[in-house]
Amino acid sequence: MSLVDVIMPQMGESIAEGTISKWHKKVGDKIAKDETLLEISTDKVDSEIPSPAAGIVAELLFQETTTVGVHTIIARINTDANATVSATPSAPVPVVPKVEAKPIPAAAVSTAATTVSHSGNLVDVIMPQMGESIAEGTITKWHKKVGDKIGKDETLLEISTDKVDSEIPSPAAGILAEILFPEQTTVGVNSVIARLTTDANAKISSSAPTPVPTVVTQPAFVQSASVQQSIVSQPQTSDRFFSPLVLNIARTEGVSMSELEAIPGTGSNNRVSKNDILAYVEGKKSGKSVPVSQYKPSAPVPSYSAPKPAAPITYPAGRVEIIKMDTMRKAISEHMVRSKHTSAHVGSVSEADLTSIVKFREKNKSAFEKREGFNLTFTPFFLEAVVKAIKDFPLMNASVDGDTIIIRKDINLGIAVALENGLIVPVIKNAEQKNLAGIARSLNDLATRARNKKLVPDEVTGGTFTVTNPGGFGNLYGFPIINQPQVAILGVGAIKKRPVVIDDAIAIRSMVYISMSYDHRIIDGALGGMFMQKVVSYLENFDVNQSI
């Protein structure tokens, strides 16, 4: 049998992982070379991945919605012409694991099923739900390895969530047969994370199991007899919550309840987390005499993730739906919050008379569509006007690097394209080198492939100025958020017929509002206003005698 590995591709130089959004084939299906096998999503682009060979799908190593490191084996294709599908199901695919930051090799996801031979019942160990709003937990430490005996209610592993750290007991007595996820893996609640065999005659295979990464722990610190008298066995004097894991560490390290209650927590509702108490214990070990009331854990590294609410979100039980953000939504969320933290946003709105452009488009759209094969929209007219205005005001095509301003010579226009569950911003490179028809062709090509998930990473990077179109949904105008590291973004509103005063007479004209958000760090109101009026001027003075 000849197996061909399917690898998670790297969809860009800075891409470290991808999320499997859909498998187009299941185990046992025939597949041709270059036929679509799966769809993946990254924070840059969604893409369909073709099969590297013709054959039969032999293994799918990860389930849909799983985030996997680049260059990791995610499936295998059997190229043997005589291959048959086994009636025996393969080991179950892990359920919704989220492999964070560092890619984890496929071999580390589960141990071999033959490590422990048995004939008894297997008991599943489930990732528990540690609260109504908790959707996942991170395995921080396995207390047992495959082949170890374990008693019922004996600690099997430690997990961490955004609410609490906890030790998880074994649901049964027996031998640990399988560990399905390594330490530091984030797994969805109710997923099977390990299996125990209750067979008293189970035997451990002589072949070494696939190693599961371990975390190096510090040796236990031995307290003096005087300190041992004050370990956590005292009654709790407040109603503050401490997780079983924190209490166990406190008990082991000889931290009194009064000390524990004085530790300022960094967890939800100021709970003391595992890191908080370990930092406190380390401070005691170093011999520093720091009063508990003055103890402060190390400040976390600031991030631009969405700020947490000041108070816990409460809602009636059973009256909510909890939805996990997908990769694209998390990326959008992170980028938008980071932009608001980075740029000093200022907004302006101008009005333009598009009557001439509306008439020009109406006159030429049929011939254009017949020649080009797609509809001529209004967006290329706005893009052309923006390109001309940027040439007049090059600072609008800049970015900020510390106290340095970088002005780009190439005008690369980002175009916001709405998708079913998000948006993406493909980039028209060197737009200053294209005429109106060329801009229209590039726009149609990129937007079509964006909606069909056919973009490549280079087509969604390198933008220097972005245009978005809230008018496409009937909005008069909007105030978009700057797409970093750019310094401005222009929004196009809906084109509406309105009565307008022209030379003391009222006329019905096709009018549009255009809005712009710009970075006040380098663009003042005067420059922003002049740029907007230049865009308006190019729109209103469009040459209707030109050919397209």
Which among 165, 392, 524, 543 is annotated as catalytic? 524
Rounded Cα distance, 520 and 492, in Å: 21
Token pair for 250: 């406190």
Phi, psi of 281, rounded to the nearest 5 degrees: -60, -40
- My answer on whether omega of the bond before 485 falls inside 30° of 0, hence cis, is yes
Find tokens 């080009």 and name the residue. Answer: 372
How far is Cα 401 from Cα 395, in angstroms, rounded to an integer?
Answer: 14
In angstroms, what CA-CA distances link 352 with 127, 496, 511, 515, 535?
Answer: 58, 11, 6, 11, 9
CA–CA dist 145, 212 (Å, integer): 8
Q: Is 520 a catalytic residue?
A: yes
Q: Which long-range contacts (CB under 8 A, 24 or more apart) does 168-174 make?
A: 168/125, 168/128, 170/125, 170/196, 171/123, 171/125, 171/196, 172/123, 172/196, 172/198, 173/198, 174/120, 174/123, 174/149, 174/150, 174/198, 174/199, 174/202
Quote the CA–CA distance of 398 and 413 in Å, as a whole number: 12
**Residue 490, both tokens:** 């222009």
CA neighbours within 13 Å on the CB side: how many for 214?
Answer: 10
Give the active site residue among 341, 401, 520, 543.
520
- Contact partners, residue 521, CB within 8 Å, separation at least 6: 343, 344, 400, 487
DSSP annotation of 473 reads G
Closest CA to 105 of 13, 210, 186: 210
Alpha-carbon gap, residue 244 to 250, rounded angstroms: 10
Amino acid, single-letter form, for residue 74: I
Distance CA 197, CA 180 (A): 14
**Coil, helix or strand for 149?**
strand
Task: For 77, list phi and psi in degrees, rounded to 5.
Answer: -110, 130
Q: How far is CA 523 from the centre of its chain?
A: 31
- Among the listed residues 196, 163, 161, 201, the one whose alpha carbon sits nearest the alpha carbon of residue 180: 196
Nearest to 297 by CA among 314, 273, 316: 273
Residues with catalytic roles: 520, 524
